[in-house]
Chains A and B, each alone.
Chain A
Amino acid sequence: MTEIIDLVLLAMLAITALSVIFIKDLFTVVMLFGIYSFLSALIFVNLDAVDVAFTEASVGAGISTVLMLGTLALTGRKEKSSSRQTILPLLVVCVTGAALIYGTLDMPPFGDPNNPAQQHVAPRYINDSPREIGLPNMVTSVLASYRGFDTLGETAVVFAAAIGVLSLLGLPKQDRTLIQSGLKSHLVLRVVAKMIIPLIVLFALYVQFHGDYGPGGGFQAGVIAAAALILYALVFGLSVATHVVPPKVLKILAALGVLIYAGTGVVSLFLSANFLDYSVLASNPVAGQHIGIIAIELGVGITVFAAMLSIFYAFAGQAERKNIQ
């Protein structure tokens, strides 16, 4: 059954990818990218990788689509048709693809638990994680504790991306007046949005703190909370949204998250253990691990929320500057 589902989903994915290449209308391409992201998340769900599917759904289909539409509002909708010959690049791609496929013929069977890649680190984590860390969701324990340094790098990368976008585009200033732009005439939508946005923020908090027991964690929670505020800005207008979450606060929050994360590591240093070794944060090592994981997930969530929202503010601020409604 899973093979049939996999085949159908991959076929739809291939069709979507091919049509993205050949369609010249960029708006359609953005819609198709949304479908592409939905399909990839479905394939991840079918492969039992629930956390990855979570992140792909929220970032790929939600934030990416919104940001690409924001870009389309500033540039045009038609792609310039290229007049160059494409025979030589096509040949190069085909030869490289054939070489890669020939290379995969030697690989071990897909998903076999006796593969050499599964014999070194995975058994140690699976056997020792319940005893050393004691969380039901083993993905969180690997991400936050065993590979905590990598996750610190990820958070720093998100922060750097936000800094990059802000230095290029700049944040909109908080307006003195409250211009009600947005979907002025859609009364039904405004009422529904007002009802739903608090529930979405609540759901984001649930995902943040439930990440130890089920799929979720800091990254997904930050993206969902940012999506709630993006919905508010889309329906009620950017200047109203900048009164709810001012851009200055976002700048501070983005840095605060990374500071919390690295700070937890430094606290472990002061308690005479390695950097990011949470076992010394409490008298009982397992309790120390729990405290450390909660602290760093909080840091990741805060940084991701602030970064996503400030990137959206930067894009939307450019659009509003071009056409004040």
Chain B
Amino acid sequence: MLILAATCIAMLSVMALALARALKADTAYDRILGVNMFGTKTALFIALLGFLNGRPDFLDIAIVYALINFIGMIAVLRFFEYTAVDDDQNQKEQ
């Protein structure tokens, strides 16, 4: 119980750090990295919450999260391959 709670708090701090990375990033790719890390940690966090509250039915949601994180990443990458490169250079100049 205590160990689960401690791991939950560790996950929350990791998520906060990933969020900070998504907010303050040098390039657009850093933001994508932050969101990706946020997504995978959220999936683990839901599994931990399920065990903490004694309801392991939450695992379905963890599976959906991992899935949606992956699909979102692929959509973002497709977006980048599609739009021109000069958008990214404008971003770096700011």
Q: Which residues of A contact B (CB under 8 A)?
A: 1-2, 4-5, 8-9, 12, 15-16, 19, 25, 27-28, 31-32, 34-35, 38, 41-42, 45-46, 48, 50, 53-54, 57-58, 61-62, 65-66, 69, 72-73, 77, 182-183, 186, 189, 193, 196, 200, 203, 207, 210, 214-216, 220, 224, 227, 230-231, 234-235, 319, 323, 325
Contact = CB atoms under 8 A, between A and B. Distances in A.
Given A8-B12, A38-B39, A61 B82 contact: no
A35 B16 contact: no
B12 to A, nearest CB: 5
B58 A50 contact: yes
B40 to A, nearest CB: 11
From B49, B63, B71, B79, residue with most partner A Cβ within 10 Å: B71
A58 B68 contact: yes
B19 A12 contact: yes
A231 B42 contact: no
A55 B81 CA distance: 29
Interface string B7-33: 011001001100100110000100110
A27 B28 contact: yes
Interface string B58-72: 101101110111111
B19 A16 contact: yes
Given A61-B72, A65-B72, A224 B77 contact: no
A5 B60 contact: no
A31 B32 contact: yes
Nearest to A186: B77
B61 A69 contact: no
B58 A42 contact: no
B77 A38 contact: no
Contact of B72 (A25, A62, A200): A62
Contacts of B8: 1, 5
Interface of B: 5, 8-9, 12, 15-16, 19, 22-23, 28, 31-32, 34-35, 38-39, 42, 45-46, 49, 52-53, 55, 57-58, 60-61, 63-65, 67-72, 74-79, 81-83, 87, 91
Contacts of B71: 62, 66, 227, 230-231, 234
A230 B73 CA distance: 12
A-B pairs with the 9 shortest C-beta distances?
Answer: A62-B68, A66-B75, A69-B79, A234-B78, A61-B68, A65-B72, A31-B35, A214-B57, A38-B42
Nearest to B9: A4
B48 to A, nearest CB: 10
Nearest to A30: B76
Contacts of A19: 23
Contacts of B65: 38, 41, 57, 61
B49 A69 contact: no
Contact of A35 (B22, B55, B87): B22
B57 to A, nearest CB: 5
